[in-house]
Structure 1
């Protein structure tokens, strides 16, 4: 297998038998993964050639960027849950458990930057003034 095909296979693993419901859709799921592998390999080869960058390093850069986008989205949702949701904010413990943070981690995960972003996207201000401004955003 060629390096780029191997990277595409690692990014798009085949489903294990018994993990696709209903079971008679297993072959279709495998076909979809094969198609995604081909698309990823094509895109990775084009990017690698165009940027003259090692495909593995390019893949790692891409995954890091995805992780950073997901982390930013989680921070925005935590700000929403604590500062904008209804008359009463979500509890720190529940948000922490769902987001993979400690209770104190939720408190410091977002700051003024994320609050401003939520306010801008929703077109309204937070429900209550922010008491803790220890973190001024990222």
Structure 2
């Protein structure tokens, strides 16, 4: 297998048997992954040539950007759960467990920036005034 095809295989893993429902769709799911791998390999190769960058480094850059986007979404969801949800905010312990943070991590995960982003996205202000933070608004 060519190195770019190997990268595409790592980025698009085959489903494990017994993980596709209904079971008779397993072959179709495998075919879809093979098609994704082919398209991913072509994209990596083209981007690598155009940018004159190693495809592995491009793949890592891509995953890093996705990870940063997911982290930003988690911070926004935590802000919503603590600042915008109903008459009582979600508890720190539950949010910490679900987000993979410690309790103090939830408290510091979001700041004024995330609160402003959430307010803009949902079209309303937080339910309760925010205490002055020493963070300076993330």
Which residue is equivalent to 1:60?
Answer: 60
Q: Alpha carbons of 1:64 and 1:124: their partners in 2 closer, same or farther (altered >3 Å)?
A: same
1:16, CA displacement in angstroms?
A: 1.3
For the pair 1:130 / 2:133, whether they are aligned, the reply is no
Alignment of 1:30-49 (within 5 A): 30-49=30-49
| Bigger mean CA offset, 70-79 vs 117-126 | 117-126
| Residue number in structure 1 paired with 2:109 | 109
**Secondary structure of the equivalent of 1:131?**
coil
Per the TM alignment, residue 111 of structure 1 is displaced from its structure 2 partner at its CA by 0.4
Q: Which residue of 1 aligns with 2:8?
A: 8
Would you say the 8 A contact 1:75–1:109 is kept in 2? yes
Query: Cα offset for 1:22?
Result: 1.6
Task: Tell me how many residue pairs correspond in the alignment.
Answer: 138
1:90 equivalent in alignment to 2:90: yes
- Which is further off, 40-49 or 67-76? 40-49
Name the CA distance, whole Å, in 2 between partners of 1:21 and 1:76: 32
Rounded to whole Å, the distance in 2 between the matches of 1:57 and 1:68 is 16
Unpaired segments ≥5 residues, structure 2: none
Post-superposition offset of 1:42? 1.3
* TM value normalised by structure 1: 0.95
TM-score w.r.t. the length of structure 2 is: 0.95
Deviation at 1:132, TM superposition (A): 5.5
- The residue number in structure 2 matching 1:121 is 121
2-structure distance, mates of 1:112, 1:128: 13
RMSD: 1.1
User: SS in structure 1 opposite 2:24?
Assistant: helix
CA distance in 2, matches of 1:39, 1:136: 44
